[in-house]
A and B are shown apart, each in its own frame.
Chain A
Amino acid sequence: MKYPTQKIALAYFAVAMALFAIQVLGGLLAGYVYVAPNFLSDILPFNIIRMLHTNSLIVWLLLGFFGATYYLIPEEAERDIESPMLAYLQLIILVIGTLGVVVTYVFDLFPGNWLLGKEGREFLEQPLWVKLGIVVAALIFLYNVTMTVLKGRKTAITNILLIGLWGIAIFFLFSLYNPGNLVLDKMYWWYVVHLWVEAVWELVLASILAFLMLKLTGVDREVIEKWVYSIVALALFTGLLGTGHHYYWIGTPGYWQWIGSVFSALEVAPFFAMVVFAFMMVWKGHRDHPNKAALLWSLGCAVLAFFGAGVWGFLHTLAPVNYYTHGTQITAAHGHLAFFGAYVSINLAIITYAMPHLLGREPYNQVLNMASFWVMSAGMAFMTFTLTFAGTIQTHLQRVLGEGYMDVQDQLPVFYWMRFGSGAVVVIGVLMFLYATFVPASAKTPQRASAAPAE
């Protein structure tokens, strides 16, 4: 750690990881309710569990992005963060908002209140006061990091990162617009949801991945920056009009079936480019970096994002296919692997890389960390397969043959049991990761084992 203010990242990562634990436990609970639907149904209905599961995911991923930003910007800009005080204030606002959200969802103290009640659009269920708090926190954050970059060295990595972060804040403003016309509501709702995860978040992802490649492989900055500009160009060229794949069946014009099919099919391209990029850099790189776990997560991120976002996205994105699969378990399968592969993995990669620096030590608990990658990834992959099978059967029985929704669901428990099992494996992997990250072996090892054979 070269700059003292990079330490801000530690607080962000710690809160993010606490929410990560809550998120996967919420997911496990929801998975259990799928197979034992009477469980807790009186006190914590499925919709509340799901809100906690999805919202905690979104918040911790964002906290991870913020932490990653505070960690990497000083090194890139070659100066300390403008105001550490503001950075901690931002975190406090976000933590208060998060606690407020949990209380609001679980206890529903002010139902229907315009300011204090939950708003109840998918993923944007936060009460208005929390949304406004998020906007304030975002403004503080953007001021802080933008000033740091403007006064320091400007690199492609910080440039793309800042564009991504500004985009996140700008598109979030659409969450404040909720017209009475459901079609318009849905159109602009996607301005937040799609333009986040399939556009500006990809900029943040590519930027963090580029930073990691720069540090881990030692490849020339010029090469990495050319790559990353090409990747984010592909991401936005395809991702912006790729929004069309959400505009097929919600009361929007028929031309979206063509635009959405063509451009979202091409959304595979930036993810494929990321795989090529990551492996090329490692292959070309001459640095034997001691943090093997960070490298594993970085490469794993590229590969799993390619499969989850790319391949599983393409699977149901063409309009004639989506006509039958829209809103089935196929969507759930894609959602899980895409979020895990792309955004969970990049966060765990940067955390794995940064933590030893933040604690001022050599990389620690590497084997356990790498084992957690394989356990989590295997669990997630198996969950994706089971949901894909469930979704395929559902699509055929319900959408092709026209059997009733619940009649079809009653034929799927075997898949939901397997999904619950794979969810439990993911939770074990997460606990392994948290232990490996936050419980470093007590004795500081003075130096790396010198006997490690070269590979």
Chain B
Amino acid sequence: MKTKSAARNIFYGGSLFFLVIFVALTVDSHLYALNVSTDQAGLTEAVVRGKRVWEKNACIDCHTILGEGAYYAPELGNVWIRRGDPDDPEVAREFIRDWMKSQPSGVEGRRQMPQFNLTDQEINDLTEFLRWVSTIKTQNWPPNDAG
């Protein structure tokens, strides 16, 4: 590289080139998310409301979901599978409801989850959200049910 202006032009041209590729791949991935990896038909209002419950209580600042979040509490992207029964959706549903109602455990030396005082509607919505998330096609991540 001989001069400053050559370096500058490579910076501008190259960055623009890679930005265009990145945006094009984003469009492709956006369509893939809509058409392939997520259950668009199952994305009901309850699921969206459940996502708001998830956000309103900052769940992600202890848990992870699809591996992203804090690392203080278990992965929840597959909690529906880990705590459920493929033949009986009531098992996971009941587990989540009981779990939310029984926190905090108060056990000494054990990480504590707060009591969020969710309404029955909110618990149902949150459960729907977690069920929907478990159906996302994630290239087979996590490696096992432990999440």
Which residues on A are within 8 Å of B, measured CB to CB?
34, 37-38, 41-42, 45-48, 50-51, 111-112, 117-122, 125, 156, 159, 178, 180-187, 222, 225-226, 229-230, 232-233, 236-237, 240-241, 243, 246-257, 259, 323-324, 326-329, 331-332, 398-400, 402-406, 408-409
Contacts and interface: CB of A to CB of B under 8 A. Distances in A.
A51 to B, nearest CB: 5
A38 to B, nearest CB: 6
A446 to B, nearest CB: 41
Nearest to B64: A327
24 contacts: A47-B58, A47-B59, A47-B62, A51-B61, A120-B58, A120-B59, A122-B70, A181-B40, A182-B65, A182-B66, A184-B34, A222-B4, A229-B7, A230-B7, A236-B14, A241-B18, A249-B138, A250-B68, A250-B138, A252-B32, A398-B146, A398-B147, A399-B144, A405-B75
Contacts of B59: 47, 120
B60 A122 contact: yes
Contact of A50 (B36, B56, B72, B143): B72
Contact of A226 (B4, B32, B54): B4
Chain A contact residues, majority secondary structure: helix
Contact of B143 (A156, A178, A399): A399
Interface residues of B, number: 72
Interface string B89-115: 000000000000000101011111010
B77 to A, nearest CB: 9
Given A47-B62, A399-B143, A226 B3 contact: yes
Contacts of A404: 74, 146
A327 B68 contact: yes
Interface string B1-38: 10110011011001100110110011011101110111
Interface of B: 1, 3-4, 7-8, 10-11, 14-15, 18-19, 21-22, 25-26, 28-30, 32-34, 36-38, 40, 43, 47-48, 51-52, 54-62, 64-75, 104, 106, 108-112, 114, 132-133, 136-139, 141-147
Contact of B136 (A226, A230, A251): A251
A41 B114 contact: yes
B109 A186 contact: no
A161 to B, nearest CB: 14
Please list the 5 inter-chain residue pairs (A to B) with the smallest Cβ-Cβ separation, ordered nearest first: A327-B67, A120-B55, A47-B61, A249-B141, A180-B48
Contacts of A406: 74, 111
Contacts of B114: 41-42, 45, 47
A46 B70 CA distance: 10
Contacts of B34: 181, 184
A256 B142 CA distance: 17
A250 B66 contact: yes
Contact of A259 (B25, B104, B144): B25
Contacts of A251: 33, 37-38, 66, 136-138
